[in-house]
Chain A
Amino acid sequence: MFSAMFRIMKDEWRKIVEEKLILAVFVGTIILYGAYYPQPYTTQVLRDAPIGVVDLDDTSVTRQITRDIDASADAEVVMKLPDVTAAKRALFERKITGYVYFPEKFEERLLGGQQSPLAFYGDAAFFLVYSQAFAAVSSAAQKTGVETSVVRLAEMGFGSSATAVAAPITANFVSVYNPAKGYNTYVVPAAFLLILQQILLMGVGFLNTFPRQNESVSEINAFAKTTAKLMSYSVPAVFLYFMATTVVPAVYGVPRIGGFWAGMLIAVPYALSIAALGLIFAAIFKKPLAVQMACNCLGMPFFFIAGIPYPAEVMPDAFRLLIKAVPSSTGIDATVRVNQMGAELKDVSQQIMILVALSAVYYLLAVIAIDRRDKRRAADASSG
């Protein structure tokens, strides 16, 4: 039986090498995607979100706040606008991502001890840009506000406790695991684990739907056959995993702090569940064209539901449970946590258990699919 299994493995490897299309899928696609996909995000962040200022007060205080906004790394004051109409126009023309509005008597109110509000109108289309511009405006206003308050409170006799009243607490925001908030650092590791899945699905699907030349090994049962096939796919899987988690992130400067072996312990059930799913895809779709279309079209939805582009909390609970059937939904999360965030295996034990369960279920389904296919072929052969 082992020699028959080994023959199947050799057969699959031979097809990978000889069928140019399959070789192109396994090797070429990840290289092309590696070059193409991350390009929009290579700058990582938008430095200096362009904003405008409508200053109806035009006093030393408003000018100081404007200078402070401009000096921050998050925003740049690119135009001063005479009124709100002009600001809206600039916003519609996409010349600015938001504008600050200082009303008349802004300084007078502030120095008079009243609250003196300013308004920030930001384009919330890009949440990241909006929060960046808002943070710049907010910290500039806070700085001037506290300075003014402290002076006034001191005059009121607060003395040394003026600061405590004006700014009783301070807040420190520490972003962890992607401190520079790089977009590529955020997207690339997740996206390439998804691309790995789609390539492996497509490659395994192709291998099992292309016209068979000499698939005559019927002396072994479906279990052994499925096992042999899945073992043979470990070679392209290891290559894809290495490309997706090491080469591509390194090219784009995405840091990796996780240990190799911890990553591998997730990679094995992840790849196994995908490869088994690929065998099931082949049984369902039957033709290479249908496999290709399915893999092309499923990639995008699978990526969005991985909980990376938007928080999983946006999804309904039942849906969150249902999508665990897709290996990437759990595999991406677990791998990113281990590779990029240095999580230990016990931190992601639940995700690993899900992947192992998926592997077992898909493995059994793949065995059933292959068994049925072999029986059908045998029936065709005897009737033919």
Chain B
Amino acid sequence: MKTTQRTGFGLILRREWRWFWRRKVLWALATYIPLGMFAFLAVSFWHGVATSLPIAVLDNDNTQLSRTISTRIDASPTVEIVTKVYDLNEAKRNIRGGTVYGVIVIPEHFSRDIMMGRQPEMTLFYNTQMLSAGNQVAKAFQEVLPALALEAQGLARLSKGMTTKQAAAAVNPIPIQSHALFNPAFDYSHFILAGIIVAVLELTIALAAALTIILDMAIDPKLRVVRRMGNGVFQVILAKQLIIFVFSCLVYGICDAIMFSVYDLPLEGSGGLLLASTLLFIIAAQLFGVFWAVLLKSDSALAPTGMILAPAFGYLGVSFPREAMSGFSLGFSYVIPGKAHIPVRFDQTLRGAPVEFSMPAFREQLIYIAIITLIIAILLALHLRRSKDSEEEAETTAPAGQPGEA
């Protein structure tokens, strides 16, 4: 029988590797759960761009011109006239019931009023309780308006012998060349899905990072056995986190490979900086989980980790601009591990910003890691000092002749 045991980082790393595969929830969290979540969401963004959003038309004029106008609107790729309604009540019912996102009303005597120069008013009722879809409908209608005006103007200008060019200049003297920078197609997958990856991964990574520590602490609160194997608590945590880190990198790599190849997410900036920021993000998410594990030392650490990160998407500033957030949200967002990664990610993929513009956020990532590491070190030092005191106390009260730990 061996009397001396090897200790050190290699030993603890091998032990953790074996245990990683035995702990089903842990490896699920580090591997197929985030991949499954991403796959599920990725499928839900399959079309990327919202097209053929259903709308209705209430044509109170029912003339050749009003029908042409309806056809023009229907030709917009964003919306599709799926039904005709015959009064405002029916329009309201269709919006309320979800058949359509909006209703376009062409007033009575529309053609006659145009001829008489009365500027008849077309109205779009659009549902902003479903804000995203409602706004898309409004934008589509706004974009098609100059064409509608030109169509409508035909009646009035014909009698004056205007040329088409003159007519276009009259009806739309200042055309706006709009350039939707960084996401010209308004592709939801390029912004929302690319941001959701960060939200999904920070949750699963932090939970896995916390769980891998808690599973040992639940049996051995002072981590005596593994500390002895690893020759110190630092080696233990490093070994545990190294495994989570490797799998997290793989998972993030697979998700981004799909984003770049299947969803055509552009890589306009520096791939090197994007990679560095991604690695820092993974470390930051792990440290967030480690913090709660070291602070609470039991299963209960998973509750704050999950509760803070599961609904944290809003704090990342992906769906709602940071400029509009309240003071509390802006302040609290600094706690979220993915907050500083998001601007670097978007800068270096979609925005194609020169590296210098991403550096403040990148530095913030480094500062986050430095601060949380320091807090964890202090917590661990306090915990181990207490455990050392109690060990010594146990030794002094132990019967004489008991060998102390070497």
- Residues of A at the B interface (CB closer than 8 Å) are 29, 32-33, 36-37, 39-43, 45-47, 50, 65, 91-94, 97-98, 110, 113-131, 134-135, 137-138, 141-142, 144-146, 148-149, 152-153, 157-158, 160-161, 163-179, 181, 183, 185-187, 191, 195, 287, 289-290, 292-293, 296-301, 304-305, 307-311, 313-316, 319, 323, 333, 336-337, 340-344, 347-348
Query: Interface extent on B, as a size class?
Result: 35 or more
**A45-B324, A124-B186, A314-B188 as given contacts; A131 in contact with B138, CB under 8 Å:** yes
- Listed by A's residue number, 12 A-B pairs whose Cβ atoms lie within 8 Å are A42-B329, A92-B347, A113-B166, A127-B186, A131-B138, A163-B119, A174-B123, A175-B138, A308-B132, A310-B45, A310-B132, A313-B53
Q: Which of B53, B148, B181 has the most CB of A within 10 A?
A: B181
Instruction: With CB as the reference atom, state the residue of chain A lying closest to B330.
Output: A40
Q: Are A92 and B174 in contact (CB under 8 A)?
A: no
For B296, the chain A residues whose CB sits under 8 A away are none
CB of B115, distance to nearest CB on chain A (Å)? 8
**A167-B171, A172-B123 as given contacts; A314 in contact with B307, CB under 8 Å:** no
B391 part of interface (Cβ distance < 8 Å): no
One of B91-99, B278-286, B371-379 contacting the partner:
B91-99
Q: With A164-B119, A171-B123, A316-B47 given, can you name 16 additional A-B contacts, CB distance below 8 Å?
A: A41-B325, A113-B166, A115-B173, A119-B179, A149-B169, A166-B173, A170-B122, A173-B126, A175-B127, A176-B127, A181-B131, A289-B299, A290-B25, A304-B44, A310-B45, A343-B96
Instruction: With CB as the reference atom, state the residue of chain A lying closest to B119.
Output: A170
Q: Are B173 and A149 in contact (CB under 8 A)?
A: yes
B364 part of interface (Cβ distance < 8 Å): no
Q: Which of B114, B171, B343 has the most CB of A within 10 A?
A: B171
CB of A314, distance to nearest CB on chain B (Å)? 5
For A157, the chain B residues whose CB sits under 8 A away are 160
CB of A382, distance to nearest CB on chain B (Å)? 29
Q: Are A40 and B320 in contact (CB under 8 A)?
A: yes
Q: Are A347 and B183 in contact (CB under 8 A)?
A: no
A42–B302 alpha-carbon span in the complex (Å): 27
B225 part of interface (Cβ distance < 8 Å): no
- What are the interface flags for B305-336 relative to A under an 8 Å C-beta threshold, 1 for contact and 0 otherwise? 01110110111010111011110110011000
A158–B171 alpha-carbon span in the complex (Å): 14
For A98, the chain B residues whose CB sits under 8 A away are 181
CB of A255, distance to nearest CB on chain B (Å)? 10
B276 part of interface (Cβ distance < 8 Å): no
For B182, the chain A residues whose CB sits under 8 A away are 123-125
> Which of B173, B179, B323 is the one whose CB lies under 8 Å from A120?
B179
**A166-B171, A316-B46 as given contacts; A36 in contact with B311, CB under 8 Å:** yes
Instruction: With CB as the reference atom, state the residue of chain B lying closest to A42.
Output: B326
CB of B337, distance to nearest CB on chain A (Å)? 15
Q: Are A92 and B172 in contact (CB under 8 A)?
A: no
> Which of B121, B130, B303, B326 is the one whose CB lies under 8 Å from A39?
B326
For B328, the chain A residues whose CB sits under 8 A away are 39
Q: Are A158 and B131 in contact (CB under 8 A)?
A: no
Q: Are A40 and B141 in contact (CB under 8 A)?
A: no
A340–B306 alpha-carbon span in the complex (Å): 29
A129–B182 alpha-carbon span in the complex (Å): 14
> Which of B124, B130, B302 is the one whose CB lies under 8 Å from A174?
B124
For A167, the chain B residues whose CB sits under 8 A away are 119, 149, 171
Q: Are B121 and A297 in contact (CB under 8 A)?
A: no
One of B4-12, B197-205, B254-262 contacting the partner:
B197-205
Q: Are B171 and A125 in contact (CB under 8 A)?
A: no
For B93, the chain A residues whose CB sits under 8 A away are 347
For B120, the chain A residues whose CB sits under 8 A away are 169-170
> Which of A91, A117, A315 is the one whose CB lies under 8 Å from B44?
A315
> Which of B51, B162, B183, B325 is the one whose CB lies under 8 Å from A165?
B162
Chain A to chain B: the 8 pairs with minimum beta-carbon distance, closest first: A164-B117, A46-B324, A124-B180, A347-B97, A40-B314, A311-B133, A177-B129, A296-B306
CB of A233, distance to nearest CB on chain B (Å)? 21
B266 part of interface (Cβ distance < 8 Å): no
Instruction: With CB as the reference atom, state the residue of chain B lying closest to A106.
Output: B174
A307–B346 alpha-carbon span in the complex (Å): 24
One of B226-234, B236-244, B348-356, B381-389 contacting the partner:
B348-356
> Which of A32, A40, A161, A297 is the one whose CB lies under 8 Å from B307?
A32
Q: Are A46 and B169 in contact (CB under 8 A)?
A: no
One of B13-21, B151-159, B287-295, B395-403 contacting the partner:
B151-159
B192 part of interface (Cβ distance < 8 Å): yes
B270 part of interface (Cβ distance < 8 Å): no
B142 part of interface (Cβ distance < 8 Å): yes
CB of A61, distance to nearest CB on chain B (Å)? 9
> Which of A113, A148, A314 is the one whose CB lies under 8 Å from B50?
A314
A316–B29 alpha-carbon span in the complex (Å): 27
B191 part of interface (Cβ distance < 8 Å): yes
For A310, the chain B residues whose CB sits under 8 A away are 45, 50, 132-133, 188, 192
Q: Are B200 and A176 in contact (CB under 8 A)?
A: no
Q: Are B131 and A122 in contact (CB under 8 A)?
A: no
Q: Are A92 and B354 in contact (CB under 8 A)?
A: yes
B33 part of interface (Cβ distance < 8 Å): yes
> Which of A33, A178, A341 is the one whose CB lies under 8 Å from B96?
A341
A347–B138 alpha-carbon span in the complex (Å): 23
Q: Are A122 and B180 in contact (CB under 8 A)?
A: yes
Q: Are B135 and A178 in contact (CB under 8 A)?
A: no
Instruction: With CB as the reference atom, state the residue of chain A lying closest to B360.
Output: A93
Q: Are B169 and A115 in contact (CB under 8 A)?
A: yes
Q: Are B129 and A169 in contact (CB under 8 A)?
A: no
Q: Are B347 and A116 in contact (CB under 8 A)?
A: no
B404 part of interface (Cβ distance < 8 Å): no
**A299-B310, A300-B199, A301-B41 as given contacts; A124 in contact with B175, CB under 8 Å:** no
Q: Which of A186, A310, A347 has the most CB of B within 10 A?
A: A310
Q: Are B139 and A131 in contact (CB under 8 A)?
A: yes
For B95, the chain A residues whose CB sits under 8 A away are 176-177, 341
For A127, the chain B residues whose CB sits under 8 A away are 132, 135-136, 186
Q: Are A165 and B321 in contact (CB under 8 A)?
A: no
CB of A24, distance to nearest CB on chain B (Å)? 8
**A120-B178, A120-B179 as given contacts; A115 in contact with B172, CB under 8 Å:** yes
B167 part of interface (Cβ distance < 8 Å): yes
**A124-B184, A168-B114, A313-B50 as given contacts; A176 in contact with B97, CB under 8 Å:** no
Q: Are B180 and A168 in contact (CB under 8 A)?
A: no
For A314, the chain B residues whose CB sits under 8 A away are 44-50, 188
**A164-B156, A167-B149, A314-B48 as given contacts; A148 in contact with B173, CB under 8 Å:** yes
A37–B354 alpha-carbon span in the complex (Å): 34
CB of A197, distance to nearest CB on chain B (Å)? 13
Q: Are A169 and B122 in contact (CB under 8 A)?
A: yes
A347–B93 alpha-carbon span in the complex (Å): 7
Q: Are A141 and B46 in contact (CB under 8 A)?
A: no
Q: Which of B148, B155, B326 has the most CB of A within 10 A?
A: B326
> Which of A41, A169, A195 is the one whose CB lies under 8 Å from B119?
A169
A103–B181 alpha-carbon span in the complex (Å): 19
